[in-house]
Every structure is written in C-alpha cells, then in structure tokens.
Amino acid sequence: MALLSTILSLNFAIFDRDTGARISIILMMTAMFIFIIADRYIRILIPLEEGQEPQMMRLYKKAAILLGVAIPILGLLSALAVGYPDAPLTSLSFTAISLSGLGSAWKRFYDKITGKIVIEVKRTKS
C-alpha cells in the first residue's frame, strides 16, 4: 500500500501543500484513534475465559481489520493529499502504525489462545 500511494502521488496532487499537510495531520490523528480502539478490542479479549473462543475470534478480527485495512487506507489518502515530496515518509509512518498494531494484536491473541496469559482470580476470605 505504501508503494502504491507513493506511485500514485507522483501523477496527481489533489490539494496544495498547506491543505494537504492539514488533511494529513487529521488523518494521522484518526489513525492513532483507530489504533487505540483496536488495542481496546485486544485488551477486552485478554480476560475472557476458555469456551469463549468465538468471541475472542470476533474481537481479534475486528482489531485486525481496523489495523490492517482501515489504517493503510488512511495512509493512502494521506499520501495522495500531501503529494510527492512528502508521500514516501507519510506512507512509511502509516505503515509503521499498522504493522506495530498488527504485531501486538497477534502476540496477545496467540498468547491468550496458547495459555501463556493467565488471569488470576482474587478470592476473598469469607
């Protein structure tokens, strides 16, 4: 996606530099907000008990779609907004956000499925 957005930004610029920069900042803030939402989905997944695998899969899929599809599309739009000189670094920053989120989500999901994450239940004395 990063290469595609860089190549496309060579051929046409949608906005002037100032407007493109403002739009890029708004899209970056949106991408960070999406990253936080996806991270919350993964954090909801961790305390679930065994037998709730369908719900775990549903939460992981939501997070993966947000991190692997929504953020790269925002990166493509942002690179097209800023134009060629800034497009490669813009694409790289959105790719870094996407890949770091996907890696973190996969590690937590894998650890939960394999039993490496165990939530201890505190018992009160009665």
pLDDT (tens digit per residue) in 40-90:
999 988 887 777 888 888 999 999 999 999 999 999 899 888 888 888 888
The residue written with tokens 């009160």 in the block is: 124
Give a yes or no: residue 95 inside a domain: yes
Confirm if 39 and 71 have CB atoms less than 8 A apart: no
Instruction: Bin 123: left if φ > 0, else alpha if -120 < ψ < 50, else beta.
Output: beta
Q: What value does the mean pLDDT take over residues 13-33?
A: 89
Reported as half-sphere exposure (CB side, CA atoms, 13 A), residue 63 has a value of 28
Range of the domain at 47: 2-7+15-114
Give a yes or no: residue 121 inside a domain: no
Overall domain count for the chain:
1
Residue 34: predicted pLDDT: 96
Give a yes or no: residue 55 inside a domain: yes
Give a yes or no: residue 123 inside a domain: no
How far apart CA 67 and CA 53 sit, in angstroms, is 21
